[in-house]
Homo-oligomer: A and B are copies of this chain.
Amino acid sequence: MLNCPIPKSEYDKVILAHGGGGKLSHQLLEKIFFSQFDNELLNQQNDSAVFDLKDQRLAFTTDSYVVQPIFFPGGNIGELAVYGTVNDLSVSGAKPLYLSAGFIIEEGLPMDDLWKIVVSMKEAAEKSGVQIITGDTKVVEKGKGDKVFINTSGVGVVYDGINISPKRCRPGDAIILSGRIADHGIAIMSAREGLQFETTIVSDTAPLNELVEKMLNASKNIHTMRDATRGGIASTLNEIASSANVGVNINENSIPINDQVIGACEILGLDPLYIANEGKLVAFVDSNDAEKVLGVMKSHPLGVDSIIIGEVVEDHPGRVVMKTSIGSSRIVDMISGEQLPRIC
């Protein structure tokens, strides 16, 4: 067998940051997973793999949810698992249809907690118009898991005439963000740290399929779309800039953030650009269609705060550059370590 491509001198063990969505995550993906599972569909590096079966384009995606705590302000691991996979299908230009649900339960989980989670998954599936049609349950010994982990995979049908891919965005594209950032990550962190604010900061977990459908109806020229989850909008924009080998310029002033979230970020020493969202997307849209797409987004309850936050440029390919509120420019790099473990 080939030697492990990550040398022992570098990392002989997996560390938390390998799951953080930043540079180390990407190294692990590239060197271990992509190097072995190498195939055209995987190499799309999209939120879902898109493939043709006869005359149909299908999208297929998977995510495991290990969020801690399992109940948090604004949601729980169950509905997060449904919405997360619904959103991964949606931002790939697909109508989500069917989900699977795989549970890994730690012995001792209160039956009532499992019940609450399952009930909220049912409600989330109904709200998203999907069905959970296959599943699996495993139980591990106390101390070998952490309450419950949930994997959801999903299958959807790509809308006719739609081709969304991280590689498709191009200089001139407007970058639209669908609302205020960092709510999910801060809700989780506040729950963990026992922080109290005037009003509770709640997760933004929500199904984006309806919003996306309206956007796709408004324009065939949405080139790239992604929900800005683990690693926040900074990681999402970096991944896209790198995939398409384009430059991304954004304006700090245009990025909407809840005041209390800003306060919490200051207390916790966190940069909101890197904090996970669970109901926000960024779309890279041909500039001619940008206002039209923005219009339909603002008319949807999950997109009322939508705003153009920047544009794609030819300069500095692979890099994200932010014009700050004081007028200077700074590179928004991919995070290298681990800011918030187990955020989703």
State the CA gap A136–B150 with chains docked (Å).
12
Task: Check A304 for interface membership: any CB of B closer than 8 A.
Answer: no
Residue of B nearest to A140 (CB): B66
State the CA gap A213–B11 with chains docked (Å).
43
State the CA gap A54–B53 with chains docked (Å).
11
State the CA gap A134–B98 with chains docked (Å).
16
Contact B132 A42 (CB under 8 A): yes
Q: Which of B15, B133, B141, B157 contacts A39 (CB 8 A)?
A: B133
| Chain B residues within an 8 Å CB radius of A118 | 32-33, 36-37
Contact B36 A112 (CB under 8 A): no
State the CA gap A17–B105 with chains docked (Å).
11
Task: Check A138 for interface membership: any CB of B closer than 8 A.
Answer: yes
Q: Which of B29, B53, B111 contacts A56 (CB 8 A)?
A: B53
Task: Check A335 for interface membership: any CB of B closer than 8 A.
Answer: no
Contact A108 B13 (CB under 8 A): yes
Of the stretches A1-9, A176-184, A186-194, A246-254, the one at the interface is A1-9
User: Chain A 53-69, CB within 8 Å of chain B: the 1/0 string?
Assistant: 11110101111111010
Task: Check A199 for interface membership: any CB of B closer than 8 A.
Answer: no
Contact B104 A66 (CB under 8 A): yes
Contact A342 B140 (CB under 8 A): yes
State the CA gap A143–B54 with chains docked (Å).
46
| Chain B residues within an 8 Å CB radius of A105 | 14, 18-19
Nearest Cβ distance between residue A134 and chain B, in whole angstroms?
4
| Chain B residues within an 8 Å CB radius of A54 | 54-56
State the CA gap A122–B138 with chains docked (Å).
24
Task: Check A172 for interface membership: any CB of B closer than 8 A.
Answer: no
| Chain B residues within an 8 Å CB radius of A341 | 139-141
| Chain B residues within an 8 Å CB radius of A49 | 98, 133-134
In the complex, 9 of the A-B residue pairs with CB atoms within 8 angstroms, ordered by the A residue number, are A6-B115, A14-B109, A20-B139, A33-B137, A42-B134, A56-B56, A63-B102, A65-B138, A140-B149
Question: 20 new A-B pairs (CB below 8 Å) besides A29-B137, A41-B131, A66-B140?
Answer: A6-B111, A8-B112, A13-B109, A14-B107, A15-B139, A19-B105, A19-B137, A19-B140, A39-B132, A49-B134, A51-B133, A56-B56, A60-B155, A62-B101, A102-B151, A140-B149, A140-B341, A144-B145, A144-B146, A145-B146
